[in-house]
Chains A and B, each alone.
Chain A
Amino acid sequence: MTTSTFTSSAGASRILRSVWAAIKKIPPVYPLFFAIFISIGFLGQSYQTMPGILNFLRRAAPLAILAIGEMLVLATGGFDLSIGSIVTLVVLGSSKLLNNDPANAIPSILIMLGFGVLIGLINGTVVSYLKVPSFIATLGMLLLVKGGALYWVGGAPQGYLTDNWRFFGREYIENVPILGRFPVALLILIVIAAFSWFIFHRTNFGKQVLAIGDNVRASQLSGVRVRLVRTMAFVLSAVFAVIGGVLIGGYGGVNVTIGEGLEMQSIAACVVGGVMLTGGRGNVMNVVFGAFTMEAMFNLLNLLGLPKPYKDAVQGLIIIAAVAYIALSTRRKR
């Protein structure tokens, strides 16, 4: 494409080109999400109403929170495969700790948060000090946490999640102006996303995370405390997994398989949100919308009447396409 042939309409094309350049800067996850969301709006009437939209967001909130945590680790160039089993631990462990008594709800959530910090610290230490690749370290942690949780409760849930424990995942704040009933889970997502956005995009920590993911050696030489930052990322990821677990358990109740596959789903949500698995790239809002896109896609497939299993196949195609798109476009730039 040569510019000389367009000299007559140079002005117009320049404007067009700058508009195009601005459009190109919009991460592809947003047009993708809105396209899908509008189509589900056409197909399912409940998505045209405010309660329907809020309900959709409530459903997507736990995955979005998990994905934000996963992104922090992915941005350092690592993996966190343990978050799904942390969700299992939170739900099963709480059912045991609660002992069917509502008074135990807050203590049990606090204990779980403590477990989250501990798991994150161990993950971070094993990766930073024992130099075990995070894929393996967190895979080991996955087995450890899952096995431990199942051993603790004896292989199946033995108690119930009380209604006040389930408040965060299930209930609404009534009589909110304009919106009507506002889901608590969505509120928690907003708080977490704002907090993460601040520390990731407005503090040194975020820059250091990205620097480590970009080039460990260089960041080390420029004075980044790689081990500390990396451990922090793992701790945040595990704590967010605990919070996500409280929402998921609150929404769905107690069962053994509740956390299965969530680590892969959140990695997929990150990838759709433009995160590179080699590290050095990440954006909180994009990842949140990555998670929304996945959830919207599942709803679309449902409304189209496709059998459930095909949602996996579509998910697979999407993540391959997303990564291939990034890989090809960066290669072209080179």
Chain B
Amino acid sequence: MKKSLLCIVSLLIVLSMLLTACAPAAKTDTAVKESATKEPAASKNVGLQMDSAKVAPQFFNDADYEESLKQMSMQPLNPDAPVYLQYLVENPTDISKYPQYAEFAKKEPPYNVCFSNAGVNNPWRVVGYVDMREQVEELRAKGLIKNFYHLDAQGKDEKQIADIQDLINTPGKCDILIVASNTSEALTPIVEKACEVMPVVQFDRYAQTDCPVVSTRSIGGYAFGIAGAKFVVDQLGPQGGNVLAFRILPGVDVLEQRWGAARKIFEENPQINVIGVEFVGYDSFKANTVVQDYIDRFGKIDAVWMDAGGTAVSILDAFKDAGAKFPIIVGEDQNDFLKYWKENNLTGIAPTFATYQWRTAVLAAVMFLQGETVQKKWVLPQPVVTKDNLDKYFNPDMPPLHYAACGCEDMTNYPDAWKNVDINKYKDVIN
């Protein structure tokens, strides 16, 4: 009996050793411990040493960071266009570079558009999806779109790959493919394959390839991260304080860049003590317990930085429940947060990742097929909600999970389609 017990225990140990020995994180872990015991000062910014605080090199480079920083203060080059068609940089797609799409360019409307979607699995994506479908309905009314095939990958890379493979296998089904990748690296091979057989428009999360004819989103992750982190640093002032960082999920370019930019700024400001970096997804329950845990451990949290604001309100609730002072907070343009902000007079900021990019993707797809000029890298403006313009963005008539920067106010079904969301009502195929 004892023998087998010993056997099992030792096997378990060997297994865990094998894993940790090969793992890169283990080294930094011990490094942190060592430095922490040697000099107490090094225990500062302990959160930045956490594994969840790392940013893979393919997701961060200084040139893009600097470029985003510049774009944040740029004005759109076509200010008269509606916000979802404005662009900050001019780089039109050169159609002569895509001889393989010659046949597609000859097609007459109405077009069949395919959309491989990472998922409709969080409120931001719901609002964006409604934006998109309402835009499709308007284009259908104009006779520009016929079928709109929506393939929902439900947040799974493997399913999205198979979904796109199906579309590649059915030539003639799609005149153009729109892709919002679930994660960047995993989808790259299949998006490249899709580009070989049909024009591709990507938005939101990009695959790591520039084969699509249009890649569109608002400025992006760096700008989101910079706006929030700069605000935190400014508000905390020279004496600094404890910052707790929340992240949604790893492996997605826009989210990695948000954190990568914030991390850079926090590192440059040693008075900022990042006490933790935690992945909580959109799980408000988990977010709530994380706040409690950190209050237990560190006594006080001065500021909360988030890479997406979905759980902002339950985080603030957790502070309230714990009897703690509201922190300086970086949220997002979700309506419940804007409301909480206004009602409690918070010190807050809400960078946005504008949901109107979902409209832009459909419009760009149709414009490309019609031979109109489109921007290859279509950089949309990315508003930031601050104390000064809060009233412009907060709309008490809209539901709590609405996103303010939807650019949807000019659509036929506004505001009903956003107030009573029913994403099952949209038809892919029409006769």
Residues of A within 8 A of B (CB): 44, 46, 55, 59, 100, 151, 154-160, 170, 248, 251-258, 299, 302-303, 305, 307-308, 328
Contact = CB atoms under 8 A, between A and B. Distances in A.
Interface in B259-309: 278, 281-289, 292-293, 295-297
Contacts of B314: 252-253
Interface of B is mostly: helix
A252 B283 contact: yes
Given A251-B285, A251-B288, 6 more contacts: A46-B296, A156-B120, A156-B121, A252-B287, A252-B288, A299-B293
Contact of A156 (B123, B284, B289): B123
In this complex, the member of A170, A299, A308 whose beta carbon has the largest number of chain B beta carbons within 10 angstroms is: A308
B400 interface: yes
A158 B400 CA distance: 9
Interface residues of B, number: 41
Contacts of A157: 123, 401
B391 interface: no
Interface stretch (B83-91, B355-363, B417-425): B417-425
B313 A154 contact: no
A307 B285 contact: no
A137 to B, nearest CB: 24
A231 B224 CA distance: 53
A255 B283 contact: yes
Interface in B406-431: 421-424
A158 B421 contact: yes
A55 B400 CA distance: 28
B317 interface: yes
A156 B296 contact: no
Contact of B282 (A160, A255, A308): A255
**Which 6 A-B residue pairings sit nearest by Cβ, starting from the closest?**
A252-B285, A253-B284, A154-B423, A155-B120, A160-B400, A302-B293
A299 B284 CA distance: 18
A154 B295 CA distance: 35
B50 interface: yes
B44 interface: no
Contact of A154 (B120, B281, B283, B287): B120
Contacts of A151: 424
Contacts of A100: 399-400
B122 A254 contact: no
Contact of A258 (B121, B123, B285, B421): B285
B47 to A, nearest CB: 11
A178 B214 CA distance: 66
5 contacts: A55-B321, A160-B401, A251-B285, A252-B288, A308-B278
Interface string B143-177: 00000000010100000000000000000000000
Which of A46, A157, A255, A305 has the largest number of chain B CB atoms within 10 A? A255
B284 A254 contact: yes
A254 B421 CA distance: 16
Interface in B227-273: none
Nearest to A44: B296
B126 A44 contact: no
B23 interface: no
Contact of B317 (A46, A159, A253, A299): A253
A89 B87 CA distance: 42
B125 interface: yes
B50 A307 contact: yes
B332 interface: no
Contacts of A44: 296-297
Interface in B45-81: 50-51
B336 interface: yes
A105 to B, nearest CB: 15
A155 B1 CA distance: 50
A130 B285 CA distance: 37
Contacts of A252: 283-288, 314
Contacts of A308: 278
A251 B122 CA distance: 19
A158 B154 contact: no
A236 B100 CA distance: 63
B336 A155 contact: no
B110 interface: no
Contacts of B287: 252
Nearest to B286: A252
Instruction: Give the one of A59, A252, A254, A299 with max B CB within 10 A.
Output: A252
B399 A160 contact: yes
B15 to A, nearest CB: 11
B135 to A, nearest CB: 18
Nearest to B285: A252
Contacts of A248: 285
B284 A155 contact: no
B119 interface: yes
Contacts of A256: 121-122, 282
Contacts of B282: 255-257
Nearest to B400: A160
A154 B288 contact: no
A258 B399 contact: no
A255 B399 contact: no
Given A100-B399, A257-B281, A308-B278, A154 B424 contact: yes
B342 to A, nearest CB: 16
A251 B314 CA distance: 9
A307 B51 contact: yes
B126 A154 contact: yes
Contacts of A305: 297
